[in-house]
Chains A and B, each alone.
Chain A
């Protein structure tokens, strides 16, 4: 169910046609997804205080209603280890169009997956699972299924991935927490059913999956026009 806060964020975002990342993260965490610790800073001193509280290393990202694809404007910096780099990063990001703050989040590690969905004209919400990162549209290693989904559906989707071995432990790598992944997929499909009247498409990319959990490290929520 969508609570009042989620609804008010969606209402506020309508003018941009999409939901800014801090707002998207807030919506997801309210809905029950695991998200990284994060905060948004406008000044250097704020940034430093926040990063110290979260704990280095951190990732810094541009927050701007003009920037849907953050990496296209070099708006994402990962692995920031000290105050100096952080302040330098803020100085650079603040020059990007529409700068509305810098999001600082804890670094999460794991296998990068994409969990996405689009509102299909004929079939309604369709959920996608794939190996994430920038290569997602090159390899096209994805599973697709109509929402809502149960755990068995989620299992089918994982088995439909060519690279599923990377999830279950390959050449000494640690297997990811498959039940956490399935749970994330199931919650996401329910989220899409709840959001189908307002949302056009959603990318959770990347979702970082490791042996302990699956964390939504970035989210793009595109609203219906």
Chain B
């Protein structure tokens, strides 16, 4: 199954264009791609005519070019005929935006288009979906361009059964400065499903982390998916919904009641090196850190802080997450101490967390980070950075990033995310250190790196 035309189309047909309604999904999709992305877009409607002075083709077959991607947004009953046209015209891939298939009780209609596509070897996404968004390439989401928030181009690809959850997470990724490689809404996932996308994305150079929002799998589909994810070289993150629904069915054995649907899901996923995110915060944090660092850690965390309270909170969060915060050896403490400025040296407490206090300046953070970066006692550094400490400058992120780069050890920062501190935050993030907006988020990032190795 070749999905490249779906994600990197050079030519695209939007089928179901309305002559009168500019807010029709097909029109929105046509407009947002036409002249905005490096893809030649053709409008299709069986009645033909013109749309804003451009040609509307009555059928795909009449377009004077081979079509890489057909976006089908007609009424559901018309989709089989449209798909037959696409197959006859040699279209290479499709996304069926239209709803009104199995989600509305029309399994027959859905089965028909799947059978046609399978026989013809035409991969399609959907139906009942938004389709694909690839930064600077293509966008089949029927959301008006002025309403969408798009993250920067980056390493995360998010595949979602729900279009709404997908768009919401694009906002969250954008807010958190996490770049995306692709966003894929698979809707009813009638043909192209999680597993087929995994196969493609595992070889996609732009994708570093593959994230999924999953409501459920079909019969035996979960097994095939987790086994494929297990041998995928890239980290796979899953967020699941529908965890509680089936718990109370009457069951005739102990095992069936103890191994409920979600318990089985969680166990199978964890067993196959897939990282399950419990909620949206975890998902965003996991994706951010896993797109920054590829090497797993054992989970021995060194914490640098400018406030004792923050340090204590971070230690609690670490132990809840199953991460160790080992006390530094005397030698390490001495090394840190020797690097600190005179005034801080006497008041800092250096057990782990290394609390450099509110009197610390950039140089103190850098000196401490150097020692921890080199120390074999820990394998990940969490820096709790409080921009309101007077001795901290806007350069701190850049300076710590350069320490990080020399050592190769993952650094994770916590910085309160308000507009005022943006330049400081970007000093971290643009130089390769993920910065979380909460202490817990920073610890969750470390947890994701540790989980990656535990299976």
Binding site for B on A (CB under 8 A): 68, 114, 116-118, 120-124, 126, 128, 130, 136-137, 140, 142-146, 153, 156, 200-203, 205, 220, 222
Contact, CB under 8 Å: B258 / A137? yes
Mark B232-255 against chain A: 1 for CB-CB distance below 8 A, else 0: 000000000000000000011111
Q: Interface with A: B171-179, B215-223, B290-298, which one?
A: B215-223
**Which among B219, B252, B259 has the greatest number of chain A C-beta atoms within 10 A?**
B259
Residue of B nearest to A69 (CB): B252
Contact, CB under 8 Å: A116 / B254? yes
**Could you write out 14 A-B pairs with CB less than 8 Å apart?**
A117-B255, A117-B259, A122-B221, A122-B223, A123-B220, A123-B223, A123-B226, A123-B264, A123-B268, A128-B255, A140-B258, A146-B268, A201-B255, A222-B253
Q: A118-B253, A201-B253, A222-B253 are in contact. Are A130 and B258 (CB under 8 A)?
A: yes
Residue of A nearest to B272 (CB): A146
Mark B254-268 against chain A: 1 for CB-CB distance below 8 A, else 0: 111111010111011
Cα separation A68 to B256 with both chains bound (whole Å): 15
Q: Which residues of A contact B256 (CB under 8 A)?
A: 118, 200-201
Cα separation A140 to B253 with both chains bound (whole Å): 14
Cα separation A223 to B223 with both chains bound (whole Å): 21
Beyond A116-B255, A121-B261, A123-B220, 13 additional pairs, beta carbon < 8 A: A114-B254, A117-B255, A120-B222, A121-B219, A122-B220, A122-B261, A122-B268, A123-B222, A123-B264, A126-B259, A126-B268, A144-B263, A146-B226
Give the 10 A-B residue pairs with the shortest CB-CB distance, closest first: A116-B255, A122-B222, A144-B267, A122-B217, A146-B268, A123-B222, A201-B253, A120-B264, A123-B268, A118-B256
How many residues on chain B are close to A (CB under 8 Å)?
Answer: 26
Cα separation A120 to B259 with both chains bound (whole Å): 9
Choose among A121, A142, A146, A220 the residue that contacts B253 (Cβ–Cβ < 8 A): A220
Cα separation A156 to B251 with both chains bound (whole Å): 27
Contact, CB under 8 Å: B267 / A146? yes
Cα separation A42 to B407 with both chains bound (whole Å): 77
Contact, CB under 8 Å: A123 / B265? yes
Q: Check B271 for interface membership: any CB of A closer than 8 A.
A: yes
Cα separation A120 to B220 with both chains bound (whole Å): 8
Report the minimal beta-carbon distance from B455 to chain A, rounded to whole angstroms: 9
Report the minimal beta-carbon distance from B219 to chain A, rounded to whole angstroms: 6
**Which among B220, B255, B265 has the greatest number of chain A C-beta atoms within 10 A?**
B255
Q: Which residues of A contact B220 (CB under 8 A)?
A: 122-124
Binding site for A on B (CB under 8 A): 216-223, 226, 251-259, 261, 263-265, 267-268, 271-272
Contact, CB under 8 Å: B265 / A122? yes
Report the minimal beta-carbon distance from A71 to chain B, rounded to whole angstroms: 12
Q: Is the interface of B mostly helix, strand, loop or mixed?
A: helix
Q: Which residues of B contact A143 (CB under 8 A)?
A: 267
Q: Which residues of A contact B253 (CB under 8 A)?
A: 116, 118, 201-203, 220, 222
Choose among A68, A144, A220 the residue that contacts B259 (Cβ–Cβ < 8 A): A144
Q: Which residues of B contact A220 (CB under 8 A)?
A: 253
Residue of A nearest to B258 (CB): A142
Cα separation A103 to B422 with both chains bound (whole Å): 75
Q: Which residues of A contact B259 (CB under 8 A)?
A: 116-118, 120, 126, 128, 142, 144
Q: Which residues of A contact B272 (CB under 8 A)?
A: 146
Q: Which residues of A contact B271 (CB under 8 A)?
A: 145-146, 153, 156
Q: Which residues of B contact A137 (CB under 8 A)?
A: 254, 257-258
Contact, CB under 8 Å: A201 / B252? yes
Contact, CB under 8 Å: B254 / A203? yes
Q: Which residues of A contact B218 (CB under 8 A)?
A: 122
Cα separation A222 to B252 with both chains bound (whole Å): 8
Cα separation A122 to B161 with both chains bound (whole Å): 16
Contact, CB under 8 Å: A68 / B216? no
Q: Which residues of A contact B258 (CB under 8 A)?
A: 116, 128, 130, 136-137, 140, 142, 144
Q: Which residues of B contact A121 (CB under 8 A)?
A: 219, 261
Cα separation A220 to B256 with both chains bound (whole Å): 12
Contact, CB under 8 Å: B226 / A118? no
Cα separation A137 to B259 with both chains bound (whole Å): 11
Cα separation A142 to B254 with both chains bound (whole Å): 11
Q: Which residues of B contact A122 (CB under 8 A)?
A: 216-223, 261, 264-265, 268
